[in-house]
Chains A and B, each alone.
Chain A
């Protein structure tokens, strides 16, 4: 193992301010300086925007529990030149109004910044209705989306500000889960650790269990906080300098980015192993996020075993 960069120490330390709180604070600050910015809510988090809603009643719009209108209104705002920031819990933002996303945003050529909270299983006691592990896969059926999966609250403000200043379609997937420190530096994948036996690509909050799982393995660890566009060149370079055996670890539906890994490595013989939220069965369980992580094979122990099996199978 040849650690070139300082290896972040995985800890279970909870950041003092959550991604969601960071999002609210950043938006509130940016509303002051950017007259184009408008926030569209469907009750969720509206209580956190009360103060700015009083200051900017025409630019902080709570449509009530109306998720089709949530996206339709955002599309209309965008058509007039505004920059809508749309926010609610993942399933109600992406799944319920999916045709509105396809038609009221993409098809109208209207931009928007969609910011979800809850990720795949952040509110496990709430059950399946509040889980949306298919969000990124769904958006992946549409062109032109930039997708950020931050792994730490301190990564969120820069992503938001970049998205606000642009015109296109941006999805930012906030989570209650997070890494020990902020590591995202831009849209490229960042090399956290160099190794020789393979490459483990950890997306967003998956870095924490991946670092714990690979502490004793001679692998390169890449960190991705932006998955669309997909840093194919970064992955290719890592595979060439380590080995073209890639483990993709995503905090949403297993294999969501496999097609892009395949495209990135198409010029060299390679193997890909994807980890993520199970596609095989609906997990009918409540409990804690850690329990769901383990059940989907995404805890440190499960990832370590899976990576060892995959790398060990190479010579078989």
Chain B
């Protein structure tokens, strides 16, 4: 595992555990939260051009958390990157807190979609990529994160086929694979995407350098899938 140690003045990767600790009270979702932490950090720290300063820029890169039941890591990364005050982390899930157990884009700065019901992020990401393309923002990237069990939702397969056929090369799907899909994916998750015309990589979901390499390996006329393998659900933390 490689820890990213950029010399920014703000909090770094090493500060994330402390931020996560402030998000107490959601034990049942903790595995999901931690399985995504490294991917999220690499995306915000080393891949995407999205900052608290450009959230209103129509040309910004976009990260869509489809697997909304694991928002703790996302909140921690957004707080570390300055999208909102770290003090907000303490009251999460409370009536007046903008931070819920599932995120709401209307309430949280830097959150691009509200999610929680599985299978919505990827079709939304396809539409986002199409909207950016139609407006000539051909450099803006759209990255959506889903889970290997979430992949079971049929809506994803509508979107995977569509994005492949439309050649949405600014679209990337990260599948965090903690082997929690009940019926599994014969041939591997990457194969599901490759069959529909996507470029794909399967990498260690905790290795920052490998993740960065995979996430930046975009191809002309092909969307990109990155399968980030993490410990089996229930085996970590």
Contacts and interface: CB of A to CB of B under 8 A. Distances in A.
Nearest to B117: A103
Interface stretch (B13-21, B75-83, B125-133): B125-133
Nearest to A38: B134
A79 B128 contact: yes
Contacts of B161: 64, 66
A239 to B, nearest CB: 38
Interface in B99-129: 104-106, 112-114, 117, 119-120, 122-129
A302 to B, nearest CB: 42
Interface stretch (A67-75, A168-176, A196-204): A67-75
B158 A76 contact: no
A100 interface: yes
B105 A73 contact: no
Contacts of B128: 76-77, 79-80
B86 interface: no
A184 B125 CA distance: 38
Interface in A116-146: none
Interface string B133-154: 1110100000000000000001
Interface stretch (A1-9, A55-63, A307-315): A55-63
Contacts of B158: 63, 66, 68-69
A80 B142 CA distance: 11
Contact of B124 (A58, A59, A72, A109): A72
A3 B206 CA distance: 78
Nearest to B124: A76
Nearest to B127: A76
Contacts of A109: 105-106
A74 B125 CA distance: 10
Given A72-B120, A104-B120, A109-B106, A81 B135 contact: yes
Contacts of A288: none
B52 interface: no
Contacts of B184: none
Contacts of B135: 35, 80-82
A108 B134 CA distance: 20
Contact of A99 (B106, B117, B134): B117
A107 B114 contact: yes
Contacts of A68: 119, 123, 154-155, 158
A79 B155 contact: no
Contacts of B117: 99, 103
Interface string B158-200: 1101100000000000000000000000000000000000000
A56 B46 CA distance: 35
Nearest to B58: A81
B58 A69 contact: no
Contacts of A103: 114, 117, 120
Given A69-B155, A69-B162, A109-B105, A77 B131 contact: yes
Interface of B: 58, 104-106, 112-114, 117, 119-120, 122-135, 137, 154-155, 158-159, 161-162
6 contacts: A59-B134, A69-B126, A72-B124, A72-B155, A103-B117, A108-B105
